[in-house]
A and B are shown apart, each in its own frame.
Chain A
Amino acid sequence: MLIKKMAQTAALLTLFAVLGGGLVAFSFEATHQRIEANKRAALLCTLNELIPFHYYDNDLFTDIREVQDEALLGTEEIVVIYRARKEGKPVAAVFNTLAPDGYNGKIHLLVGINYKGILMGVRVITHKETPGLGDGIELRRSDWILGFNGRSLINPDKGGWQVKRDGGDFDQLTGATITPRAIVKAVHKTLLFFQQYHEEVFAVDAQALEK
């Protein structure tokens, strides 16, 4: 009698687990394409802020290259590079990199650099910086991040790639120095990497097309 009741209860619980799992599977099937499209649209929207869409004619999402270089890029994580080309000629590259030493952890960045090594712009994708202080790095809160536009390794030169408090060229934010310092450092490292591996960044080879 007891065994029978236990079996019934277990069967019922299994039934609900299956029904619950089924609901989740069904919603996933119904939505995952739309979700993927949303993610791509959001990323493309930001990419196009850095490289206006009439500058290139290739598909940024398939023309990518993944690199890993802790010494140069300052992070052991894989950095994705989106390459923009027009009629096959390289125009610009966008690095999906990160600043590991924000006030509150990692700050994910998109750094757009044109073929000549001049910054087309920088955007913060995700961060956990203090609301009201460090979040001035978001474009919707302040235009601080636009201060990178047009910069390069010679504008300013090496000593200038710091926040003003450290004797450099870049403003800090009111009440937040660590956050801008981390971003300035990460952008500078990206530029140095770009300079050193200029050809490889744009190289079209089998390895580059591997996902």
Chain B
Amino acid sequence: MTQYSQIIRDGLWHNNPGFVQLLGLCPLLAVTGTLVNGLGLGIATTLILITSNITVSLIRNIVPNEIRLPVFVLVIASFVTAVEMMLKAFYYDLYLSLGIFIPLIVTNCAVIGRAEAFASKEPVDRAFLDGLMMGLGFTFALTMLGALRELLGYGTLFAQASLMFGQSAEWMTITVFEDYRGFLLAVLPPGAFFGLGLLIAFKNAIDKRSSL
């Protein structure tokens, strides 16, 4: 069994799904135009990771090896569909801005990757913690990339926070550069590749320094 502390360190940093495993790149690159979008998709993915990890761990002893993958896919697809409906019902504006990327969580390799590589072999408490930590790690990656692109692209942070936190959250929007003319490349998909590359390089630089 894996140690709790190792699960936490792996999920958040050493084996971060966004920065190290490079899984789930499709949503990572597509929705991170703004910080709030990144945060929203990150939270939705975390919910899916936790529920799918718990379920997979619970059924790991009764599901024969041959039908393991189809069952995992079924579990994940049903949970994602349920979460999508919840989001539509309770956070409609956020749903509109995340659009088609919620159903795409089904195809996020990070989710099935954790089910297969971790939850199908470990007890429920550890599977839960792994789902939570991997989710938080992914959210961290999405949020950092969203913040970087929003700052460069629009010169703001937390724009449209009201989509997620309601009208009272308008104050959260920070205009970092007044009269900023915008930087289109950061907003467009190629900017996501550049941004992710920079963040990965930055993370590696930190790792290198701390290992010296």
Binding site for B on A (CB under 8 A): 5, 8-9, 12-13, 16-17, 19-21, 23-24, 26-28, 30-32, 34-35, 38-39, 42, 130-133
Contacts and interface: CB of A to CB of B under 8 A. Distances in A.
A47 to B, nearest CB: 16
A34 B92 CA distance: 10
B86 interface: yes
A13 B70 contact: yes
Interface of A is mostly: helix
Nearest to A26: B82
Nearest to A135: B187
Nearest to A29: B85
B88 A38 contact: yes
Contact of B184 (A16, A20, A132): A132
A131 B63 contact: no
Interface in B28-62: 33, 62
Contacts of A34: 89-90
A17 B74 contact: yes
Nearest to A13: B67
A30 B81 CA distance: 13
Given A17-B74, A133-B184, A12 B63 contact: yes
Contact of A27 (B77, B86, B92, B96): B86
Contacts of B187: 131-132
Contacts of A20: 74-75, 77-78
A48 to B, nearest CB: 17
Nearest to B62: A12
A121 to B, nearest CB: 20
A211 to B, nearest CB: 23
Contacts of A27: 81-82, 85-86
B85 A31 contact: yes
B66 to A, nearest CB: 6
Given A38-B92, A131-B187, A24 B67 contact: no
